[in-house]
Amino acid sequence: MSKTSGAGQGVIVVSNRLPVSLECAGGTCHSSPVSGGLVTALTPVLTVNKGTWIGWSGAPDVEGVDAALRLFSQETGYTLQQVGLTHEQIANFYFGFTNQIIWPLFHDSQFECNFNPDYWQTYLDVNALFACKTVESGNADDYVWVHDYHLMHVAKYMREAGDNRRTGFFLHIPFPAVDSFRRLPWRSELLNALLEFDQIGFQTLHDRRNFIQAISILAPHVKVTGRGQVVTAKVGGRTIRIGAFPISIDYKKFYRTARSAVVRKQAQHVHSALPDRKIILGVDRLDYTKGIPHRLHAMQKLFTRYPELRGKLSLLQVVVPSRATIPLYAKLKKEIERLVGQINGEFSEPGYVAIHYQYKNLNFEELLAYYRASNIALVTPLRDGMNLVAKEYCAANVERNGVLVLSEFAGAAAQLRNGAILVNPFDVEGVAAAIHQAYMMDEGERRKRMDRMRESIRKNDIFKWVDSFFASAFAP
């Protein structure tokens, strides 16, 4: 629980998605809580101060959503408010501007961008809706904390409506280098809208540096001064704080649950289903930023270059369904399935499958059992804001003998370089060599590396993240 915010500060959280999942039929909706680091960290803050969470329900607005949210609010002790979106807004705002422009652009995949001007207009309209709902919510001295790339214009519209409450913004994804950012037709509008927040947080110092560089080129009238984790920018008479606040996980929850009998049993089950071999694990949302085909090519290279490893090592690749109606995602799914088939055709034998592929959601215990059962985790995104799978794997590795192979382009690399084998995910031979190194690593070395990573995650957990964001936001 956040120490800073516990001191009576009211908070409004604004994010694209609400922390609930709703199932609606015939005018009635049933809600169930969504778990995840952000929800875990912010729930105590909102509950203590009877705060508000504003977001989209995840589906077109239908009858029954508000009633379900009221019921959910009574149970959780804080208020949930939905911003209802039409089919067209969902198409142009969520599937359009955020997922076909900002997502690829900010993840260095600018050639995947579809700079459709209609998407931009709807992005502004939907941000105005979120701002309007925020203006009507909470108390006069509440702090408004807006999350992620979907909502970069909220502070601007709040100010235009005369709402001058303190605002903060946290970007969960990377901020691109200025040469990529400049391709955005609406780059100046977006940058200036971000500068309407009182505090802007990034995952890493690298992202913050990119942002400051964008300011220096596209908004040279803004003066940035200071050093360290948080610097300040002067815009007109206003002072904005710009900081790096690497997000984390609820370490204790992962560690404790991973040690439970249920998880231990499930992990044993995974082991006995895949006997006499080491297990490499990949768990990713279906997304081209995660580098899944590159990883599969690295496995192919591994078995070709080190034929003695055939039969001794299997990749367990879980792909969690996501944004599947966007053509690029559907295409990626096909590509993954084709590659898995090809590699298995080449290296599997009776009693041995080289790649076990699953396209599904895992529940918390299943996920932890996979973490516990795996000897090596392959976390090789081409670009990632943070990547919490890397941190979760370490926290759940209660035997402390697993090896993390981690992309240098994941935000997590900044904190886990003390124990992970860092790789360039585009370098297929390098990744194959890193897997070989992980396979050969002796137990003492594995333990030493894992202990170092676990300790830094334990010390810098999700609650510390909330505290450090608020400590900076409320600093005199």
Q: In angstroms, rounded to a whole number, what is the distance separating the alpha carbons of residues 185 and 176? A: 15
Measure the CA–CA gap between 439 and 281, rounded to whole angstroms. Answer: 13
Q: Which is nearer to ligand G6P, 171 or 457 (CB)?
A: 171
Rounded Cα distance between 415 and 206, Å, is 13
SS3 per residue for 65-100 = HHHHHHHHHHHHCCEEEECCCCHHHHHHHHHHHHHH
Residue 87 appears among annotated catalytic residues: no
Closer residue to ligand G6P in complex, CB, 82/314: 82
Smallest distance, ligand G6P to C-beta of residue 389, A: 11
- Least distance CB 406 / ligand G6P (angstroms): 17
Phi, psi angle pair for 122, to nearest 5°: -70, -35
DSSP states along 134-196: HHTSS-TT-EEEEESGGGTTHHHHHHHTT----EEEE--S----HHHHTTSTTHHHHHHHHTT
Q: Minimum Å distance from CB 393 to ligand G6P? A: 17
Residues binding ligand G6P (CB under 6 A) = 17, 148, 172-173, 322-323
**Cβ at position 462, least distance to ligand G6P in Å:** 14
Nearer to ligand G6P, 320 or 471 (CB): 320
Whose Cβ is closer to ligand G6P: residue 323's or residue 436's?
323
Q: Residues 129, 104, 464, 78: is their CA dihedral positive or negative? A: positive
Residue of 437, 397, 419 lying closest to 298 (CA atoms): 437
Single out the catalytic residue among 61, 66, 108, 172.
172
Neighbours of 446 (CB within 10 A): 21
Q: Percentages helix, strand, coil for the chain, rounded to the nearest 5?
A: 50, 20, 30
Whichever of 92 and 266 has its CB closer to ligand G6P, that residue is: 92
Identity of the residue, 194 or 355, whose beta carbon is nearer to ligand G6P in the bound complex = 194
CB neighbour class for 381 (10 Å; exposed up to 12, middle 13-18, buried from 19): buried
CB of 322 to ligand G6P, least distance (A): 5
Cβ closer to ligand G6P: 388 or 453? Answer: 388
Question: Nearest 5 degrees, angle CA 288-CA 289-CA 295?
Answer: 80
* CB of 204 vs ligand G6P, minimal distance in Å: 14
Cα separation values, 147 from 6, 164, 168, 409, Å? 20, 18, 8, 22
Distance CA 418, CA 13 (A): 33
Q: Is 384 a catalytic residue?
A: yes
- Residue 269, token pair as written in the block: 């089950």
C-alpha 60/C-alpha 28 separation (Å) is: 14
Task: From the candidates 163, 198, 284, 384, give the one annotated as an active-site residue.
Answer: 384
Please list the residues that pair with 169 across neighbouring strands: 146, 200
The distance of closest approach from Cβ of residue 16 to ligand G6P in the complex, given in angstroms and rounded to an integer, is: 6
Active site residues: 172, 384
